[in-house]
Amino acid sequence: MEAEPCGEAPLAHGNPAVLAEIGAGLLARRPHISPKYLYDTLGSRLFEAICELDEYYPTRTEAAIFAQHGEAIAACVGQGVSLIDLGAGNCAKAASLFPLLQPQQYVPLDISVDFLSAAVAGLQQRFPAIAMTPLGVDFSAGFQLPEHVHPQRRVFFYPGSSIGNFSPPQAVALLRNLRDNLGADGGLLIGIDLVKQSSVLDAAYNDALGVTAAFNLNLLRHVNRLAGANFELRQWQHCAYFDEAASRIEMHLQAQCDVSVRWQGGERQFARGERIHTEDSYKYTRSGFRQLLGSAGFEEVQCWTDTSCWFAVLYARAVNR
């Protein structure tokens, strides 16, 4: 429920690449829609609401880590970096670090470009000394930072355990791409959700107010707009659970009745109870994530956790090649 892969052009209405991706997912043996389509403007606002829920612990737990260990994190990362914020959303998490990190440049990336632009406009007024360059880039598919992003002392900021939305092989590929965009003096400041009781995890993705359900269902509304589909939201139900063997939360949308779905270039019949997979959220052990970092060309420098060890923030340095 955390990742916000980015890009304005890939999400334009009628874009052939988008139509092909959505169509292939819906026609797959196990139908699925990429979680990046959760984040249109309304989806981004619903995710902000999720972060305020009692059941949703990651945001406040990570914030508490930054509040308690902010000075130590800043000492480790250093000041005057080019801070590249992946899935920036409303930019609030990065902005909370500005007084400590004092970045020379802030480069937020997000899938919802209109939402991002509004957030950056307000942020620029608060921090006029920081150069800000919002970018629309689908970093889940690989990317290269433009030349106007300062090449020295680049630090990727990837909070919220958004890396958990990718399978371990996909996460390694993403991290390798980040490594390729860093020089020898670059680094990664990342939040990861740690393995914990399944009851805590299940509650976090099935809140009593139904905000997560609305967030998940809004994906269908977004796909209707992008692909000319005819999903009726009342015919579908949010479903989320923890798969202990795979160490991940799975989110699905389940058909409440037999339904025929059409989109530009395709059609599929869904039987009652059939599901569309919309998101995974992997939970890690510290040792397991350390191995993942090593596979991608990073080495852990420091790790900070909350007192319950529910969440961790790590700073990793790019390994010289």
Count of the separate structural domains present in the chain: 2
**Mean pLDDT taken over the chain:** 92
Indicate whether 192 and 217 sit together in one domain.
no
Span 194-201, average pLDDT: 96
**What CATH number corresponds to the domain at position 151?**
3.40.50.150
- Per-residue pLDDT, averaged over 232-258, amounts to 97
pLDDT (0 to 100) of residue 118? 85
Cα separations in angstroms, 31 against 90, 151, 251, 280:
31, 40, 12, 14
Q: Are residues 142 and 225 in the same domain?
A: no
pLDDT for the residue numbered 321: 60
Q: Are residues 312 and 188 in the same domain?
A: yes
**Helical packing angle, 41-50 and 211-227, nearest 10°:** 170
pLDDT at site 5: 38
- In terms of domains, do 99 and 112 share one? yes
Same domain, 89 and 169: yes
From residue 303, give the alpha-carbon distance in Å to each of 16, 271, 287, 294. 42, 46, 11, 15
Give the lowest-confidence range in 27-31, 88-92, 101-105. Answer: 88-92
Decide if 16 is inside a domain.
Answer: no
The mean pLDDT of 144-159, rounded to a whole number, is 94
Overall average pLDDT of the 288-308 stretch: 96
pTM: 0.87
Residue range of the domain that includes 262: 35-46+200-282
Residues 139 and 126 in one domain: yes
162 pLDDT exceeds 80? yes
Residue 46's pLDDT band (cuts 50, 70, 90): very high
**Residue 89 sits in the same domain as residue 178:** yes
Percentage of residues of the chain with pLDDT beyond 70: 95
SS3 170: helix
As a whole number, mean pLDDT of residues 129-137 equals: 90
Same domain, yes or no: 223 and 311: no
pLDDT of residue 138: 76
- pLDDT tens digit sequence for 112-129: 777 788 889 999 999 999
Asked, for residue 301, whether it belongs to a domain, the answer is: yes
Helix, strand counts (H, E) of the chain: 10, 12
Q: Are residues 63 and 178 in the same domain?
A: yes
154 and 173 assigned to the same domain = yes
The dihedral formed by the CA atoms of 105, 87, 319 and 72, expressed in degrees to the nearest 10: 70
pLDDT tens-place string over residues 247-273:
999 999 999 999 999 999 999 999 999
Q: Can you give the pLDDT at residue 59? A: 93
Residues 173 and 209 in one domain: no
